[in-house]
C-alpha cells in the first residue's frame, strides 16, 4: 500500500498526457434542452428574488482554527477550518508562497464528487507563481457526511449549495484578512462542479476581479434534465412528486441565472468539444448567459483540463483578471533547454550505437537490444559505457585482453540491470497496478528477461555472454535499484510538475525517466561493486564458461542476503513515504 502512494504521482502524470488540448472554435451543436414543466423561465426575476439567500454577516468572527502546517517546495501549506454562517465548520487549506507580499489571492473549487485535495497540485503551482490560494471542501465532502452520496436529490441539496456559496464568500474574507494579500487582485478558479458554482458565486460576490470557469455548465438542474441525461438513474429513479420537488427547490439557485450578473468581473469559460459529462450544448447555454467581459475557449478534449488549457487560464488571469504579477519563480526555461539537449544527445547516441553494434558482428542479438535499452535510459552516458566497457576493452602488454577493473565491471552490470528493472517499474506505472508482490516481481522479471535475451547469439562465433549472476544476486540487484527508483520517482515528479506548473507533462515524465535512472544506478552500484569484487557477478569481455566462473553462495548466505536487501528496501520506502506525507520530499 505504501508503494501505491509512491507511484501514484507517476501514474497521474502519465495518464494526463492524452490529447493536444489546442484551443478551437465552438462546436456546432443543437440545443435540445427544454425547461421542465412548472419552472419560472425569467432568469432576472429569479435572480432578484433569490440573491438574498446568499447573504451573511460579514462582521462575524472567522474563528480560524489551524489543524496542521507543512512545507512543500517553497510553499507553506496550512490546513485549517473556519466557522460557517450556515452552521458547522469549513475544512480549508491555504497555500502561501515565501515572501511578504502583497500577493494575489485565489479561491480554487473542486468538482463533484471530490474534495479540496483534488486541487492541491494546481494550488501549489499557483502559490509558487506568487498567489495565496485557498481551497475548501464542499458540504457534501465534509467529515460529517463521510460515506454518503454527494447528491441526495432532496431539498438537502439546496441547503448545501447555498451553504457552499456562503462558505466561498467567507473564504474570500479569509484571504482579505491576511496582510500579505492584495484585496484588489482576487480571482476564482473552479473545475467542473466548481466551474458551475463559480457562476453562481460571481452573481453574488463582487470582490473578485475574475472567474475562470473550467468544464462548467449552468447548474444541477440543467445538468440532469437534458435529453442526454435520461440514463441518470439517480434522477430518473425518483417519483414524479419527488422529482418536481427537487426541481422547484434547486431552480431558484441555478448558476445560469446568476452568471449573467457577474459584471464588472471578467469571466473565462473553458470547455471540451467532446465532453460527455458536460455536453457542449449545456456549456454553450452557460457561456451565452455569462455577462461581459467574457472569453470562451474550446478544446478538442473530453472532461479534463489539458496543460494547454491551464496555460490559457494563467495567461488570462494575468492579462484580464489583474493578476499580472504572477510569474514563475523557478528556472523552467533553463531546465527545458537542458532536457532538450539531453534528448538530442540521447537520439544521437542511439543512432551511433545502432551503427556500431551492427558493424560489430561478434555482438549477439540480445546484447544489441540491451545496449540500446541502456542508452534509452542513460542517454550519452550509456553510449560512453558501451565504448569504454565493451567496444574498447583494456589490453595487456602482450596484446591479450586484460581483466577489467572491478569498478568498471560493477558499473556495466548496474546499468544493464537497471535498464531491465526500470522497464518493469514503468510498466507498473502505466498499468496502474500496485499489488505489493507485483511491485518487486515485475521489475525482477523484466530484469531477468533482459539478462536472458542478452544470451541470444547472432551467429556462429558470437560471444556467448558477457554477463552472469545467480538468481540471488539478481534479486539483491533489483532491490537496491528499486530503492533509488521508487524513492526518487514521486519526489522528482512533484518537483518537475512544479518547475513546469502548467506545461506539457511529457517534459516532467522525461525528466523523471532521466533522474530515476540515475538514482537507480547510484543506489545499485555499491551493491554491484561489492558483489563483483567477491565474484558473485561476472561482467565484461570474457572467454570460456562464464557461468561456471561465477561464485555460488550457500543457501544460508543467499537467504540472508536477500532478506537484508528486502529489509533495506522496505525501510527506506517507508521513510520516504512518511516524509512525503508531511510534505518533506527528498531533495534532488
Q: What is the pLDDT of residues 490-545, one digit of tens each?
A: 666 555 555 555 555 566 667 777 777 888 888 889 988 888 888 787 765 544 44
- Identify the pLDDT of residue 507: 62
Average pLDDT, the chain: 81
Peptide linkage before 264 cis (omega within 30 of 0) = yes
- Strand 89-97 to 210-214 pairing: unpaired
Q: How confident is the model at residue 424 (pLDDT cuts 50, 70, 90)?
A: confident
Longest CA–CA separation in the chain, Å:
101
Residue 126 confidence (pLDDT) above 70: yes
Q: Which residue has the higher pLDDT, 318 or 440?
A: 318
Q: Name the percent of the chain in helix, strand, coil, to the closest 5.
A: 55, 15, 30
3-state secondary structure at position 267: strand
**Cα–Cα nearest to 256, from 216, 304, 303:** 216
In sequence order, what are the residues at sequence separation of 6 or more whose Cβ sits closer than 8 angstroms to the Cβ of residue 502?
125, 307, 310, 311, 314
Q: What is the pLDDT of residues 539-577, one digit of tens each?
A: 655 444 445 556 667 778 778 888 888 888 778 777 766
- Identify the pLDDT of residue 537: 79
Q: Which residue has the higher pLDDT, 397 or 379?
A: 379
- Identify the pLDDT of residue 330: 45
For cell 558482428, what's the residue? 361
Q: What is the pLDDT of residues 307-361, one digit of tens each?
A: 778 888 888 998 876 676 665 444 455 566 777 788 889 999 999 988 888 877 6
**Cα–Cα nearest to 371, from 308, 454, 288:** 454
For the chain, give the percent of residues with pLDDT over 70. 77
Q: Which residue has the higher pLDDT, 163 or 383?
A: 163
- Identify the pLDDT of residue 3: 33
Q: How confident is the model at residue 5 (pLDDT cuts 50, 70, 90)?
A: very low
Q: How confident is the model at residue 464 (pLDDT cuts 50, 70, 90)?
A: very low
Span 444-466, average pLDDT: 66
CB 491 within 8 A of CB 585: yes
- pTM of the complete model: 0.67
Amino acid at each position: 500500500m505504501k508503494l501505491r502512494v509512491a507511484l501514484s504521482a507517476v501514474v497521474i502524470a502519465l495518464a494526463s498526457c492524452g490529447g493536444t488540448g489546442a484551443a478551437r472554435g465552438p462546436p456546432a451543436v443543437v440545443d435540445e434542452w427544454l425547461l421542465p414543466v412548472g419552472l419560472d423561465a425569467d432568469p432576472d426575476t429569479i435572480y432578484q428574488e433569490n440573491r438574498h439567500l446568499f447573504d451573511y454577516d460579514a462582521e462575524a468572527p472567522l474563528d480560524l482554527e489551524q489543524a496542521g502546517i507543512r512545507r512543500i517546495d517553497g510553499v507553506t501549506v496550512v490546513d485549517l477550518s473556519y466557522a460557517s454562517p450556515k452552521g458547522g465548520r469549513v475544512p480549508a487549506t491555504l497555500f502561501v508562497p515565501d515572501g511578504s507580499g502583497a500577493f494575489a489571492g485565489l479561491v480554487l473549487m473542486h468538482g463533484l464528487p471530490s474534495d479540496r485535495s483534488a486541487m492541491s497540485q494546481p494550488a501549489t503551482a499557483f502559490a509558487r507563481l506568487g498567489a495565496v490560494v485557498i481551497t475548501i471542501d464542499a458540504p457534501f465532502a465534509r467529515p460529517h457526511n463521510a460515506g454518503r452520496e454527494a447528491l441526495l436529490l432532496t431539498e438537502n441539496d439546496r441547503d448545501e449549495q447555498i451553504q457552499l456559496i456562503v462558505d466561498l464568500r467567507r473564504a474570500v474574507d479569509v484571504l482579505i484578512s491576511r496582510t500579505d494579500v492584495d484585496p484588489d487582485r482576487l480571482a476564482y478558479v473552479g473545475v467542473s462542479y466548481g466551474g458551475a458554482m463559480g457562476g453562481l458565486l460571481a452573481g453574488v460576490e463582487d470582490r473578485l476581479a475574475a472567474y475562470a470557469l473550467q468544464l462548467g455548465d449552468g447548474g444541477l438542474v440543467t445538468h440532469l434534465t437534458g435529453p442526454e441525461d435520461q440514463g441518470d438513474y439517480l434522477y430518473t429513479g425518483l417519483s414524479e412528486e419527488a422529482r418536481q420537488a427537487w426541481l422547484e427547490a434547486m431552480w431558484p439557485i441555478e448558476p445560469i441565472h446568476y452568471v449573467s450578473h457577474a459584471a464588472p468581473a471578467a469571466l473565462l469559460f473553458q470547455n471540451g468539444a467532446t465532453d460527455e459529462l458536460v455536453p457542449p450544448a449545456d456549456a454553450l447555454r452557460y457561456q451565452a448567459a455569462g455577462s461581459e467581459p467574457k472569453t470562451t475557449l474550446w478544446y478538442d478534449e473530453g472532461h479534463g483540463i489539458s496543460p494547454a488549457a491551464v496555460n490559457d487560464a494563467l495567461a488570462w488571469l494575468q492579462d484580464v483578471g489583474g493578476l499580472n504579477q504572477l510569474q514563475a519563480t523557478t528556472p523552467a526555461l533553463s531546465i527545458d533547454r537542458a532536457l532538450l539537449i539531453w534528448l538530442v544527445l540521447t537520439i544521437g547516441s542511439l543512432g551511433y550505437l545502432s551503427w556500431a553494434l551492427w558493424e560489430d558482428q561478434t555482438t549477439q542479438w540480445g546484447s544489441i537490444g540491451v545496449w540500446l535499452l541502456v542508452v534509452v535510459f542513460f542517454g550519452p552516458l550509456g553510449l560512453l559505457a558501451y565504448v569504454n566497457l565493451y567496444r574498447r576493452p583494456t589490453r595487456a602488454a602482450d596484446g591479450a585482453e586484460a581483466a577489467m577493473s572491478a569498478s568498471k565491471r560493477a558499473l556495466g552490470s548496474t546499468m544493464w540491470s537497471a535498464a531491465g528493472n526500470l522497464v518493469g517499474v514503468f510498466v507498473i506505472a502505466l498499468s496502474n497496478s500496485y499489488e505489493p508482490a507485483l511491485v518487486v516481481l515485475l521489475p525482477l522479471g523484466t530484469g531477468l528477461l533482459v539478462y536472458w535475451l542478452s544470451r541470444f547469439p547472432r551467429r556462429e562465433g558470437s560471444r556467448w555472454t558477457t554477463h552472469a549472476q545467480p538468481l540471488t544476486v539478481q534479486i539483491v540487484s533489483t532491490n537496491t535499484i528499486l530503492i533509488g527508483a521508487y524513492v526518487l520517482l514521486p519526489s522528482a515528479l512533484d518537483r518537475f510538475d512544479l518547475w513546469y506548473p502548467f506545461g506539457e507533462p511529457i517534459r516532467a515524465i522525461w525528466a523523471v525517466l532521466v533522474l530515476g535512472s540515475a538514482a537507480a544506478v547510484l543506489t545499485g552500484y555499491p551493491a554491484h561493486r561489492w558483489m563483483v569484487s567477491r565474484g558473485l557477478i561476472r561482467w565484461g569481455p570474457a572467454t570460456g564458461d562464464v557461468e561456471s566462473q561465477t561464485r555460488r553462495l550457500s543457501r544460508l548466505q543467499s537467504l540472508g542476503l536477500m532478506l537484508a536487501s528486502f529489509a533495506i528496501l522496505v525501510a527506506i520506502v517507508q521513510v520516504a513515504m512518511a516524509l512525503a506525507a508531511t510534505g518533506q520530499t527528498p531533495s534532488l
